[in-house]
């Protein structure tokens, strides 16, 4: 019923405009207002019919109403996914006013729309990549810092655990017990938000590297200890028998033999580390996860998250490959 009334109203309006040779500024104002009303009511066809009544301007006439009406119509077509009609309408404007910016941008956007879906994904990718790359670099920085710190920490903890000096082995046992037994997230919070209350304020990067470094030292410590203890006891005896001290035997004989055995589990840990760096996004660091999250929240575009997943996969794949290579090299003396 409502629809019929509005139809009749449009028809009337149409007749009325036909009778007038041309429309004044107020008439246009009213026309646009009515268009808005119709659109608000959901009568897009009605709105379109109204807009079409605005004639092309003659040489000396104002172009504004014509351009506005056609652009409005084009937007309505576009919203109806009738991009062909939208384009034709847009072209009407461009035929008369080739330099009109609004029409040109709109036509360009329409062309983009007419392209296949992957094209949109590609342009999103191009748009998001700089921010994500910056985040990925930060992730890599975190990974490298932790990879520098934690093997050393792990070795110390491992040697401490093996030590026959009770206070040292007890202390190292405690370190491992604590850092393996509590969530990394909690440790990060404690270091970044908790330490300031003890008067120690750390930059996010420092706090993140300390947290990740301690955590991974504890894990690597147990792995390294296992590897050291898996080396045949005869090796230590043979080293001692030629007069080596404990530390010489460790450094020259035992530890070098652990490298090959260490590579698979350590590689695993470092791949876990790449993903664990995502946790530091909670202490005000913009790394890959945070960057993706920000883009997602701004553009509400899932592509940002998908891209982050791809970058994580690329990173972990590269690391897997590198560690396989190192493992092979480290064990080369076992090849016959």
Partner 1 sequence: MSTVSQPLLKLENITKRFKNLTAVNSVNLDVAAGEKLVIIGPSGSGKSTLLRSINLLEEIEEGTIRFEGREVGYVMRNGKRHPDRPQAISALRAEIGMVFQHFHLFPHMTVLGNVMEGPLTVQHKPADEARSIAVEILAKVGLSDKRDVFPATLSGGQKQRVAIARALAMQPKLMLFDEPTSALDPELVGEVFDTIHTLADEGMTMIIVTHHMGFARELADRVIFMESGNFLAQGTPEELFSSAQDNDRIRGFLNRLL
Q: How far is the CB of 236 from partner 1 (least distance, A)?
A: 9
Rounded to whole angstroms, the Cα distance separating 126 from 233 reads: 57
Contact flag: residue 165 with partner 1 (CB under 8 A): no
Distance of CA 292 to the CA centre of its chain: 2
Spatial CB neighbours of 50, under 8 Å, sequence gap ≥ 6: 10, 13, 31, 34, 35, 38
CB of 198 closer than 8 Å to CB of 131:
no
Structure tokens that stand for 210 in this block: 């300390």
Start-to-end C-alpha separation, the chain: 91
Q: What is the DSSP string of 195-228?
A: GGGGT----HHHHHHHHHHHHHHHHHHHHHHHHH
Name which position in 114, 237, 272, 317 contacts partner 1 (CB under 8 A): 237
Does residue 229 touch partner 1 according to CB under 8 A? no
**Binding of residue 235 to partner 1 (CB under 8 A):** yes
Quote the CA–CA distance of 206 and 280 in Å, as a whole number. 11
In whole angstroms, the minimum distance from the beta carbon of 254 to partner 1 comes to: 10
Q: What does the angle CA 250 – CA 252 – CA 258 come to, to the nearest 5 degrees?
A: 65
Query: Should residue 256 be labelled a site residue for partner 1 when binding is judged by CB under 8 A?
Result: yes
- Which is nearer to partner 1, 240 or 275 (by Cβ)? 240
In whole angstroms, the minimum distance from the beta carbon of 134 to partner 1 comes to 42
Tell me if 126 contacts partner 1 by CB under 8 A: no
The nearer residue to partner 1, 229 or 298, going by C-beta atoms, is 229
* Contact yes or no for 296/169 (Cβ under 8 A): no
Q: Binding pattern to partner 1, positions 315-334, x when CB under 8 A? A: ------------------xx
Among the listed residues 173, 246, 296, 319, the single contact to partner 1 using CB under 8 A: 246
Residue with smaller CB distance to partner 1, 237 or 324? 237
Q: Taking Cα atoms as reference points, which of 47, 36, 42 lies closest to residue 9?
A: 47
Q: Number of residues in contact with partner 1, rule: CB under 8 A?
A: 22
Which DSSP string corresponds to 86-107? HHHHHHHHHHH-TT-HHHHHHH
Give the one residue of 7, 75, 240, 275 binding partner 1; rule: CB under 8 A.
240
Cα-flanking dihedrals φ and ψ of residue 54, to 5°?
-70, 115
Contact window for partner 1 (CB under 8 A) among 10-18, 37-45, 253-261, 283-291: 253-261
- Binder of partner 1 out of 52, 115, 252, 325 (CB under 8 A): 252
Question: Closer CB to partner 1, residue 73 or residue 262?
Answer: 262
58 binds partner 1 (CB under 8 A): no
> What is the binding site for partner 1 (CB under 8 A)?
232, 234-235, 237-246, 248, 252-253, 256-257, 333-336
């Amino acid at each position: 019923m409502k629809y019929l009334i509005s139809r009749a109203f449009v028809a009337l309006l149409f007749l009325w405009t036909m009778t007038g040779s041309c429309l004044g500024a107020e008439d246009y104002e009213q026309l646009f207002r009515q268009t808005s009303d119709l659109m608000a009511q959901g009568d897009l066809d009605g709105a379109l019919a109204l807009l079409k009544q605005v004639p092309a301007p003659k040489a000396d006439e104002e172009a504004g109403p014509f351009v506005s009406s056609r652009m409005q119509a084009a937007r309505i077509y576009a919203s109806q996914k009738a991009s062909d009609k939208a384009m034709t309408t847009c072209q009407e404007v461009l035929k008369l006013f080739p330099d009109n910016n609004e029409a040109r941008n709109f036509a360009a956007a329409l062309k983009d729309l007419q392209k296949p879906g992957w094209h949109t994904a590609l342009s999103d990718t191009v748009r998001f990549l700089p921010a994500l790359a910056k985040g990925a670099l930060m992730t890599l920085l975190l990974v490298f810092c932790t990879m520098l710190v934690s093997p050393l920490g792990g070795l110390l903890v491992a040697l401490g655990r093996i030590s026959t000096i009770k206070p040292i082995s007890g202390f190292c046992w405690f370190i491992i017990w604590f850092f393996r037994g509590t969530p990394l997230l909690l440790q990060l919070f404690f270091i970044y938000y908790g330490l300031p209350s003890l008067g120690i304020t750390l930059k996010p990067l420092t706090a993140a590297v300390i947290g990740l470094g301690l955590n991974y030292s504890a894990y690597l410590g147990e792995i390294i200890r296992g590897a050291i203890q898996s080396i045949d006891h005869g090796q230590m005896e043979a080293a001692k028998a030629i007069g080596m001290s404990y530390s010489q035997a460790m450094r020259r004989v035992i530890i070098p033999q652990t490298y090959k055995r260490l590579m698979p589990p350590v590689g695993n840990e470092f791949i876990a580390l790449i993903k664990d760096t995502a946790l530091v996004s909670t202490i005000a660091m913009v790394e890959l996860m945070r960057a993706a999250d920000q883009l997602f929240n701004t553009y509400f575009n899932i592509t940002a998250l998908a891209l982050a997943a791809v970058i994580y996969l690329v990173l972990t794949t590269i690391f897997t490959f590198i560690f396989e290579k190192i493992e092979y090299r480290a064990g080369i003396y076992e090849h016959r």
